[in-house]
């Protein structure tokens, strides 16, 4: 008497793409059931991934409770570069393979970051507002603005994206604070390696490229903001958790620092009551740094490749550091 094998399940918890046709085709080609959801809260995620063999997550939170309900030997794929919305400790405890996609939009994020740096330095939002208000006094609106040769840009973290931003802003001077970048490596890159405190004190523009960890969460806070130059600018395209948003809003409102440009936030979408909406000298974009006409296609193609790999018993293409990958 033959025993029927349970059909494997591939579940997408949430997505912002027009469709998930590539992912569906990859799963169904290998005989798996494919379910696409748009989960709005952690409880919906728990129900969606119950019994799943592969879960693909974009922005939804994959909690310990959700992971506990997945099938034995399951795998998780994050649609994106970071993975702080996945309870990695729970996933690793169960021996799950966890993959992510750190290489699908690096050029786009670097372009966006460099654009925000230049827009903030050149006071483009303030100048635009002045023209709309009928004011033609550029000096009064834009002062102070340094030329690039007198401007120091600091990097908190220097990974793939930080390196690409560096290449786009070569006329500037650079500082970097990153435990993975020693003095020799910094010299090769043409930057000066300093500790975090010196980075905050000396930079005209601070570009954030660190992951959200216990050491980096709220690295930008009321205390560190007070150590920065009064005309300093902060640019964040990394993780919203790096900044204490209430402290930043207060610093911008009171003139402690000169400006900021943010693409990521602690809560997304940015809540209507957020103090950031009302403060001056701040550029806001809606977590858009990753996007181009081709990056979204590339992301889904890579997701489809990972579905095929995982259903075939292989490791994800890019395992999250610390994953215990099955042989």
**Positions marked catalytic:** 239, 268, 287
d(C-alpha 102, C-alpha 26), whole Å: 21
> From the centroid of its chain, how far is CA 128?
28
Neighbours of 230 (CB within 10 A): 9
User: Are 227 and 105 in contact, with CB atoms under 8 Å apart?
Assistant: no
| Nearest in space to 16 (alpha carbons), one of 313, 226, 291 | 291
d(C-alpha 89, C-alpha 109), whole Å: 28
User: Are 151 and 201 in contact, with CB atoms under 8 Å apart?
Assistant: no
- Residues 136-155: b if buried by 16+ CB within 10 A, e if exposed: eeeeebeeeeeeeeebbbbb
CA-based angle 316:321:322, to the nearest 5?
Answer: 100
């Amino acid at each position: 008497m033959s025993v029927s094998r349970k059909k494997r399940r591939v579940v997408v918890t949430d997505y912002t793409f027009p469709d998930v046709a590539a992912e569906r085709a990859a799963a169904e080609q290998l005989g798996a059931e494919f379910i696409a959801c748009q989960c709005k809260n952690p409880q919906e995620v728990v129900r969606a991934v119950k019994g799943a063999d592969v879960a693909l997550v974009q922005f939804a939170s994959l909690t310990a409770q959700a992971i506990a309900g997945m099938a034995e030997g399951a795998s998780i794929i994050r649609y994106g570069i970071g993975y702080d919305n996945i309870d990695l400790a729970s996933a690793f405890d169960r021996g799950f393979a966890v993959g992510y996609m750190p290489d699908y939009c690096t050029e786009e994020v670097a372009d966006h970051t460099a654009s925000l740096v230049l827009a903030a330095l050149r006071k483009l939002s303030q100048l635009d507002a002045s023209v709309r208000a009928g004011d033609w006094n550029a000096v009064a609106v834009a002062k102070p603005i340094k030329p690039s040769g007198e401007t120091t840009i600091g990097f908190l973290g220097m990974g793939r994206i930080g390196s690409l931003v560096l290449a786009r802003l070569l006329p500037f001077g650079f500082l970097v604070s990153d435990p993975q970048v020693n003095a020799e490596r910094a010299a090769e890159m043409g930057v000066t390696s300093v500790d975090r405190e010196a980075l905050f004190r000396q930079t005209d523009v601070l570009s954030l490229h660190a992951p959200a960890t216990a050491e980096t969460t709220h690295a930008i806070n009321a205390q560190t903001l007070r150590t920065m130059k009064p005309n300093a600018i902060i640019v964040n395209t990394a993780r919203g958790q790096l900044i204490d948003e209430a402290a930043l809003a207060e610093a911008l409102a009171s003139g402690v620092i000169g400006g900021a440009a943010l693409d990521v936030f602690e809560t997304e979408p940015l809540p209507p009551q957020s103090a950031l909406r009302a403060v001056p000298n701040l550029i806001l974009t809606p977590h858009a740094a990753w996007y181009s006409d081709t990056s979204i296609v590339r992301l889904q193609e890579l997701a489809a490749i990972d579905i095929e790999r995982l259903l075939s018993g292989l490791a994800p293409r890019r395992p999250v550091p610390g994953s215990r990958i099955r042989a």
